[in-house]
Each structure stands twice: as structure tokens, then as C-alpha cells.
Amino acid sequence: MKTLLVTGAAGFIGSHLVDRLLREGNRVVGIDNLLTGSKQNIMFALKHPNFTFIKQDIIDPILVRGGIDEIYNLACPASPEKYQADSIHTIQTSTIGVMNMLELARKKKAKILQASTSEVYGDPEIHPQVESYKGNVNPIGPRACYDEGKRIAETLCFEYRRVHQVLIKVVRIFNTYGPRMAYDDGRVVSNFIWAALHGKPITIYGDGSQTRSFCYVDDLVEGLIRMMESGTSVTGPINLGNPDEFTVAELAKKIQVMIGGKSVRVYKKLPIDDPKLRKPDITLAKKKIRWTPKVSLDEGLKKTIDYFKTQV
Ligand code: UDP
């Protein structure tokens, strides 16, 4: 039986990953500071005999007894609203926190998967985004705490590989959605669904012509596991995302049609440095880890809407 450490275990993606790893018969240690994650997300896991939960921040010194085979380092707020709320802490998470996890991987001789992001491409000048594109990030803008944080996190991973031969796996995660997103998470899918369900105005930033490509959480989790299980020469960075691209206005319309009701659309200023286009090129993921997302936006939205209907 393998022992796996998941940081950000009570978060949106982390909790789905934990459930799947437990179902597959692993022992899982989950770490979370419960800043944006919640115990409600790990209700199933907390009752499982093979799950141990540690409430702690990854920027604090960490001591885990016994062996660890693999580390999934997912801890970090991912919604612009949340990662900007305490920007310095976001930077600490991707620097001090990532170094703590890499040190742990080194000591335990564990493989480590680092969650990076499509935000390393910034407001991209090439479309779709391929891993070889070096990005267009504003280093002093309001998104930099996350974007530059994740860029240095990637650098740290590759230096730990070069200097200490740590087995690293870097994935760049594109917009992901599904059940267990917090209703007040601030990201577009949860905001639109929550507003439409409660007959509140749907707020579109800018004119709604900016695009995103939305990946259902189960597909993403499959990609994370495939990446972890790939051969040692596969380090990444590899894009994980659904290449089906939609404008934000199209997304709003879809959700309004699916939910019905009479929520109106209102328009607000586009936030500074908000990327205009985003769509992953997933050629590398298809080739190196044989991964391709399966769940269409319609199918995934339906499941997500059903989940939000159960939330008060
Ligand atoms: N957005 C919007 N209304 C909202 C939340 C977000 O129009 O209530 C837009 C946002 O400006 C961006 C896109 O939707 O262009 C995706 O935003 P999100 O915060 O989900 O993630 P991002 O891809 O920007 O990290």
C-alpha cells in the first residue's frame, strides 16, 4: 500500500483527488490550512480508516512521520479574488511552501507533483498555449503574486531535480470547475451558477468576449494521477485542461438557459491584466501521459449545477 501526501487536501481539486486515491486503496495524508478549503469537502475522507488529516500551512515547518511515496502539492488559493486577498501569503505559499515540500520529497525520497497553472502564460500572445511558450506576465500587476509565485515554484522544482535529483512532475492546470467549488470562491463558473440559481444579476467583467477553456474536475484528477504514474523522464511542465474554448458571454448564456429563471446580466470593468484568450494545447499530455478530457461543458455544468442546488 502506498502512502501519499496531498496538500490542499480540503480544497476543491484536492478533495476530489483524495477521494479517488482512497478509493484506489492508498493511505493518504491530507494537509490543509482550511483558508479556502473546508472540512465539508473531505467528509467522506475523514471517516476513512486510511486517511489522516493535518491542519497546517505548508509555509510552516513540516514533520511527517513514516515513509511517503508520493506528494501532490496542490496547496494555494487559485481564484484571483482569493489569491489577491492576502498576496504576500500567496507568494509565501509558492516559495517557502513549495521549498518545504521539495525538502520533504528529498528527505523521504518521494516523487512530487507540483500544481502549476495556465497563469504562467499571463495574457498570452500565442494561442492556444503550448508548454514551450514562455509567457507574458506583468511582474508588478495584481495577478503577479500568483503568476510569478507559480513561475518560481516551477523553477524550484527544476533546481531540486538538477541539484538533488528529486523526482518532479509539473502540471500547468487550466480553468477547472465542478462540485465542491465554494459558492463564494469568486471564479466565473461558481459566480454565474450561484447568481442564476438565486435570481441575482450575472456579472460579466469587460464585454464578455474574453475566452476560457473549462475542464471538469474528474478529468483533471485523472490527469494528475496519470502524470504521477508516468515514467521518471516525464517531468513536465505539461498542460492539463480542456481545449474546448468559450467566451465568458457564451458561458453566461449557457448557464442561464440551463438554470432558467430571470437573472439579468450586468457588465463591470475588466480587471487589470485579465487574460483575453486562454486555451491549452494538450498535444504533450496526449502523447506523454495518454490523457484527454472526456466530459463536455454541458455535461459538467449539469453536474455542477446539481451540486450547487444542494448547497444552502
Ligand atoms: N469573470 C466574470 N464574472 C465573474 C467572474 C469572472 O466575467 O463573476 C471573468 C473574469 O474576468 C475572467 C473569466 O471570467 O475573464 C475567468 O475568471 P476566473 O476568475 O474564473 O478565472 P481566471 O481564468 O481569470 O483565473
> Domain of 18: which CATH number?
3.40.50.720
Answer whether residue 107 is part of any domain. yes
Per-residue pLDDT reduced to its tens digit, 204-263: 999 999 999 999 999 999 999 999 999 999 999 999 999 999 999 999 999 999 999 888
* Domain housing 123: 3-175+216-241+279-293
Answer whether residue 7 is part of any domain. yes
Confidence of residue 179 (pLDDT cuts 50, 70, 90): very high
Ligand 1, CB cutoff 6 Å, lining residues: 79-80, 175, 187-188, 191, 203-205, 210, 212, 248, 271, 274
Cβ contacts of residue 184 below 8 Å, gap of 6+? Answer: 190, 194
Catalytic residue among 72, 83, 121, 146: 146
Answer whether residue 133 is part of any domain. yes
User: Mean pLDDT across the stretch 66-83?
Assistant: 97
CA–centroid distance, residue 207 to ligand 1 (Å): 12
User: Mean pLDDT across the stretch 1-29?
Assistant: 98
CA–centroid distance, residue 208 to ligand 1 (Å): 9
Answer whether residue 309 is part of any domain. no
CA–centroid distance, residue 279 to ligand 1 (Å): 14
Per-residue pLDDT reduced to its tens digit, 35-50: 999 999 999 999 999 9
pLDDT at 312: 72
The preferred substitution site among 146, 248, 270, 273 for testing ligand 1, maximizing ligand atoms within 8 Å of CB, is 248
Overall domain count for the chain: 1
Q: Is 195 or 261 the better-scoring residue by pLDDT?
A: 195
Which atom belonging to ligand 1 lies closest to the Cα atom of 278?
A: 23
CA–centroid distance, residue 248 to ligand 1 (Å): 8
pLDDT at 261: 80
Answer whether residue 204 is part of any domain. no
pLDDT at 262: 83
Evaluate if residue 51 carries a pLDDT over 90.
yes
User: Mean pLDDT across the stretch 144-148?
Assistant: 98
User: Mean pLDDT across the stretch 77-96?
Assistant: 98
pLDDT at 263: 87
Confidence of residue 153 (pLDDT cuts 50, 70, 90): very high
pLDDT at 76: 98
pTM, to two decimals: 0.98
CA–centroid distance, residue 103 to ligand 1 (Å): 34
The preferred substitution site among 191, 205, 250, 267 for testing ligand 1, maximizing ligand atoms within 8 Å of CB, is 205
The preferred substitution site among 118, 188, 264, 268 for testing ligand 1, maximizing ligand atoms within 8 Å of CB, is 188
Q: Is 177 a catalytic residue?
A: no
Answer whether residue 79 is part of any domain. yes
pLDDT at 167: 98
Mean pLDDT (the chain, rounded): 97
Answer whether residue 205 is part of any domain. no
pLDDT at 139: 98
User: Mean pLDDT across the stretch 157-183?
Assistant: 98
pLDDT at 201: 96
Which atom belonging to ligand 1 lies closest to the Cα atom of 205?
A: 7
Answer whether residue 209 is part of any domain. no
User: Mean pLDDT across the stretch 118-122?
Assistant: 98
